[in-house]
Amino acid sequence: MKTKIVTVIALALIVFINFSIWSYVNNPLQLQPWTKTTMGVTYDPHRKQDTQTSDSFPSEADIDHDLSLLANKVHAVRTYSVLKGLDKIPELAAKHNLNTTVGAWIDGNLEKNRQEIETLINVSKQDNPNIVRVMVGNEVLLRAEIPPEQLVEYIREVKKNTWRPVSTSETWAEWMKHPELVNEVDFIAVHILPYWEGIAAEDAVDYVFDRYHAVQKAYPNKPIVITEVGWPSDGQPFKHATASISNQAKFLREFLNRADAEKVTYYIVEAFDQPWKMSIEGSAGAYWGIFNADRQPKYPMDADVIAMPNWEHWATGAAIFSVVLMALFLFTRSSMKLPGLLFFGLIANLAASTIFWSVSIGAQQYQTNITIVFWGILVLMQVMAAVILLIESLEIAEVIWHRKTARTFQPLTPSPDFKYPKVSLHLPIHNEPPEMVRMTLEALDKVDYPNLEVLVMDNNTKDPAVWEPVKADCERLGSRFRFFHLENWPGFKAGAINHALDQTAPDAEIIAIIDSDYILSPDWLNCMVPYFDNENVGFIQSPQDYRDRDQSAFKSFCYWEYAGFFNIGMVQRNEYNAIIQHGTMTMIRKSALLEVGKWSEWCICEDSELGLRLYEAGYDSVYVKDSFGRGVMPDTMSGYMTQRYRWVYGAMQIIKAHWRNFLPSKEPKLTPAQKYYFIAGWLPWFSDALALVFTITSLILTAVILYDPIHSELPANAFLLPTVGIFSFKIIRGLWLYQARVPCSVWQSLGASLSGLSLTHTVAKGTIQGLFTSGKPFMRTPKFEQHGALLAGLFTIRQELLLLTLLSVAIGMMASLEHFDNFSGRLWIAILSVQAVPYVAALLTVLISIAPDYKTEPAVKKSAAKAKSKSKKKKK
């Protein structure tokens, strides 16, 4: 009881610390206050739902409401057009004692330009003393929509028909390029927007006044009005300029106080956020307002600024979510020590906060139906990534901080009165080298077990020269060995061992399976069979092991990659009676096998599928991690990939056949721990599939960004957890657990990580194809071996090389893109680089696999040569 109380207190402390981090990140920003009335703002009455091309437009009542909000906060508003009811703004503004700079929108549409000019002239002739200036066009020369001469004609026409000061608005650079235009206007209306020039926020105000003074120096006899100056509160970075609430508040307060001191006339862009501008200016275009699109102030101008004003709600949601996660994952973990619980609690809180942080970013932005779907998919993927992260964290916690339980099994020694049940050992083969099978059979002949039969099932080997020597060996070894050659037999391996089951001796109680390349230890059966004295034990499993790890660096790396599963995953799963049956080195109670329906011929991983059915039938398992048999590993990268693909594809077949048994049920066939560990075992493969989806998505987004950088959004934050986070944690987890449980050096564990990473794309393909196809996959043997090992190896990983090439090009292009020469761009490059690592690993592993072997002869060939030598000596 005391331990539980300490655990609850400790986990509560983690939640409190996480909440404190939210508070620290959203610590109020203390800035120079602005307590006076702002001189002017630009104004567009569009609402959140409006678009530039829609027929709907705000009513006079909407405009009047907007202007009432601005009254007493600003002295004046500046408009950009006088069509679609905007000609009413000066009159409505005067009601609220607001001055107006009235503008006509000029572009390449000459007919509309005529309407704008005529309406502007009519408005300027009104008896309205609050109209202080008249503007003909906005950034017309910058957009190059009409020639300068045409703009000058419009200006002259308006000046001829009004007594009010007339000008046109352009950026400071355009004014410097067109001194002839200065002579045509009554004042210089200049835009100075350091954000669009990529200036960092801390340098932005100095930059504004430097440009202002440069224009002033160039044209000392003309009054200057800054008709656009401001900073966006959200959106994509532009070069070194970052859009954020804090940067907008900092810029505006510093500028307003300095402009007041220097007596500069200005209009802040803009009064209200305009989401419709995203289609023109990119995401940042929507967020220049001092009010949001719902007409709420983003922050006070005379008090501290909080970047996320409602952060407490998000932090509370993250805390509740993390508590739920901890409860779901930890409620059955009574055997975990307190440090493990704290470690998992920390990861759960970080994962929950990352998800809520991402959701909060999307919630504060203006979304369309398309972007809502996009964000929904990203958040769903983040949740999946978080689940994978939590499962791997729990594995670390359980392995490192786990109390030993009663389900830790050791090899047994039969008692003197032990009654040896008959074991029928089935050895399926297909087109195997007869020398290799001979070694397996001779080892079986030495097995020290008094009640054994061996059934060798040759499945569809066409060449008699391959299977007949095996038959001869069985006849030579005596009556315990029986050989069956099956022609045109269905069901692949499962079909062959089902036939063996039919041929099994009636008094056999236990079925044992080994692969054709395994050399058994003589004591395997004696050490393991006694566990069947427990009538509830359905199957017993010993680890796969290999005897050719010293043959090459490639095989050494593969060996240690395999070893992680048998020394870490299987040991931990055994604690909860949830191991995976993996075919070779397995024993099954014959009655249990017949009860659940023999081997499944529809599944290419019939061994794992049978183990799950035995669990569903209520049987227990036993796993002893001691090695009792050693086989040989794939000789090539192609074989290594094909083997893993088969395992993954088979697992997807099992999921599709058994998923109902993992749902909540009144009469569950699996324990909660069994459900968890099977799902936990499959999820890393889904993680690789998810990584492939993110990689392809990243390449598509990068192409879009390169095509149109201004209007493109870099969702780097949403990609951090599913890419950089999962990848980094995967590497840390592997190295940490290997050092804790696998008897290998750091170098060997790094080699295991490399070979495991090289299979990422293979696993992703197996997962996706296994989920969405129903037939057994065709295992294609790589061609072009005749052209050399290098070419054959590269052809084997041709898809990986294609993706690596595309990612490399994407990284290079992003690095050269000036628009994203900022933290966001560098973060995106980092994400692309992390996504490229598995493909680099595949290339390195292929190169290692074709490098010269430590020893020139494969282990099997050397052993076969020795056997032939002995045979020749005997004949002599």
Q: Decide: 249 and 29 in contact? Cβ < 8 Å.
A: yes
Q: Decide: 532 and 421 in contact? Cβ < 8 Å.
A: yes
Angle formed by the axes of helices 760-772 and 746-758, nearest 10°: 40
What is the phi/psi pair of residue 402, to 5°?
A: -115, 135
pLDDT score of 875: 39
Kindly tell me if the per-residue pLDDT of 291 is higher than 90: yes
Measure CA 861 to chain center.
44
Range scoring the smallest mean pLDDT among 38-42, 144-148, 681-685: 681-685
Kindly tell me if the per-residue pLDDT of 871 is higher than 50: no
pLDDT score of 53: 66
Kindly tell me if the per-residue pLDDT of 854 is higher than 60: no
pLDDT score of 689: 92
Check residue 826 and give left, alpha or beta (phi > 0: left; psi -120 to 50: alpha).
alpha
Q: For residue range 447-459, list pLDDT tens digits in order.
A: 999 999 999 999 9
pLDDT score of 562: 96
Kindly tell me if the per-residue pLDDT of 382 is higher than 90: no
Separation between Cα atoms, residue 625 and residue 162, nearest integer Å: 95
Alpha-carbon dihedral angle through residues 805, 808, 814, 815, given to the nearest 10 degrees: -150
What is the phi/psi pair of residue 538, to 5°?
A: -95, -35
pLDDT score of 811: 96
Q: For residue range 152-168, list pLDDT tens digits in order.
A: 999 999 999 999 999 99
pTM: 0.83
Q: Decide: 631 and 545 in contact? Cβ < 8 Å.
A: yes
Q: Decide: 329 and 348 in contact? Cβ < 8 Å.
A: yes
Kindly tell me if the per-residue pLDDT of 865 is higher than 50: no
Alpha helices in 73-160 (DSSP H): 89-95, 110-124, 140-143, 148-160
Structure tokens at 398: 């359980």
pLDDT score of 867: 41
Mean pLDDT, range 512-533, rounded to an integer: 96
pLDDT score of 54: 67
Mean pLDDT, range 717-725, rounded to an integer: 76
Range scoring the smallest mean pLDDT among 290-294, 324-328, 362-366, 653-657: 324-328
Q: For residue range 626-675, list pLDDT tens digits in order.
A: 999 999 999 899 999 999 999 999 999 999 999 999 999 989 999 999 99
pLDDT score of 714: 75
Kindly tell me if the per-residue pLDDT of 61 is higher than 50: yes
428 class by beta-carbon count within 10 Å (0-12 exposed, 13-18 middle, 19+ buried): buried
Mean pLDDT, range 27-35, rounded to an integer: 91
pLDDT score of 785: 43
Separation between Cα atoms, residue 288 and residue 308, nearest integer Å: 17
Long-range contacts of 643-648, Cβ-Cβ distance < 8 Å, separation of 24 or more: 644/759, 644/762, 644/763, 644/766, 645/762, 645/763, 645/765, 645/766, 645/777, 645/779, 646/604, 646/605, 646/766, 646/777, 646/779, 647/605, 647/766, 648/685, 648/762, 648/763, 648/766, 648/767, 648/770
Residues belonging to the chain: 876
Residue of 634, 578, 608, 598 whose CA lies nearest to 770 = 608
User: What is the DSSP secondary-structure string of 176-189?
Assistant: HH-HHHHTT-SSEE
- Cα separation values, 868 from 436, 439, 467, 474, 476, Å: 12, 11, 18, 17, 16
pLDDT score of 788: 58
SS3 45: coil
List beta partners, residue 508.
Answer: 422
Structure tokens at 664: 């909540």
Mean pLDDT, range 437-444, rounded to an integer: 97
Q: How confident is the model at residue 818 (pLDDT cuts 50, 70, 90)?
A: confident
Mean of all residue pLDDT scores within the chain = 90
Q: Are strands 508-513 and 519-520 parallel, antiparallel or unpaired?
A: unpaired
pLDDT score of 225: 98
Q: For residue range 234-283, list pLDDT tens digits in order.
A: 988 888 999 999 999 999 999 999 999 999 999 999 999 999 998 888 88
Mean pLDDT, range 130-144, rounded to an integer: 96
Q: For residue range 167-220, list pLDDT tens digits in order.
A: 999 999 999 999 999 999 999 999 999 999 999 999 999 999 999 999 999 999
Q: How confident is the model at residue 716 (pLDDT cuts 50, 70, 90)?
A: confident
Q: For residue range 65-98, list pLDDT tens digits in order.
A: 999 999 999 999 999 999 999 999 999 999 999 9
Question: Position 400: which residue type?
Answer: I
Q: Decide: 820 and 810 in contact? Cβ < 8 Å.
A: no
Kindly tell me if the per-residue pLDDT of 403 is higher than 80: no
Mean pLDDT, range 373-401, rounded to an integer: 85
Kindly tell me if the per-residue pLDDT of 725 is higher than 90: no
Kindly tell me if the per-residue pLDDT of 489 is higher than 70: yes
Kindly tell me if the per-residue pLDDT of 722 is higher than 90: no
pLDDT score of 776: 63
Q: What is the DSSP letter of 428?
A: E
Residue of 108, 104, 69, 76 whose CA lies nearest to 90 = 76
Angle formed by the axes of helices 823-849 and 746-758, nearest 10°: 100
Separation between Cα atoms, residue 212 and residue 190, nearest integer Å: 8
pLDDT score of 761: 97
